[in-house]
Structure 1
């Protein structure tokens, strides 16, 4: 774990992230907040690309909780069987759709507690939905953010909750909204787990990573 970077260094890092990509976007395809919830729930232990491939046809016929219930667990399973843990995920999507219909009038709630009460929706999924759909400055820490946060010193922490807190505490307020997207994309395409691309990294001179390569 790298040491925590100071405020001015972190501000410079996120200024560079912003200048390179002012409006970073999540890569999961969705058509409304309900399909966003489903897509994020399906993405656990799966790639965004794999989820997108499976949901393009699915969301054309089941883009609301009621339509998903009408499709049924077997029908849903056929659409998502290329995704890891698809059987359990299908059960969860049907269960959460039933709860949304019965308890929320078919609408997706905009509170973390309510979202986390849904089957298959954890803190990370809730934070993604709150951030991407409602614009809240929530931080969804995945493996990319955990790695980048600890490797660079931007937001080090022993677990995902500690890294989430470090993001909230250390990253300037004006960068909070897009912070997790910048960190995810940086980890996915530059600060990779096995072969980080330090030679072309825009924050190489500011990063605390001891094993930088050229």
Structure 2
């Protein structure tokens, strides 16, 4: 059975489930956004992959699915999907960042579950340079007098900078690490635009389009890269 036949049911089932979910959101007077369409599509894809494929350990597949679920939770708070029922007020962004922080932490645990050999020296250099650059960018483009959101954004850098630094250190070992480097960089760019706009207060032309465009590419690319990965022993 080829890959297309193997995964052939995922797309039609996902379409039906997303339609039912959108109807449920409407019935409950919740806000459905374009982001939810992407998030649920990726979650259904990860669930289908976890159930069909046997090439990754069960725990890694659980981490992949939970990463998608908590990114959806973060998107739910950022999109303020409950605003017809109650207002989150100033908690919208902190809760959104918390959801994404947990989601990316699960995805990083999945990356660690691949158990590729690590070069400690390369890892130290990669982490040092990556977080050095992120801190400089945070200070110049996001920090707003060290207020609460600014500090939370700095903490949130850990969730994105850690898998990025890990992927850079492993760059030449697997194609998946090259892709993770690219897509985590794009994800950081997307979140940086949000921080510049909503925390620093900058006026960015077409900010909404730029945020969604980079976010959709990055999230889909990260999921694809995590699923693409094969342990080095299996490729030998």
Q: Tell me which of the two structures has the higher relative contact order, counting C-alpha pairs closer than 8 angstroms and 6 or more residues apart.
A: 1
Q: Which one has a larger percent helix, Structure 1 or Structure 2?
A: 2
Normalising by structure 2, report the TM-score. 0.28
Normalising by structure 1, report the TM-score. 0.30
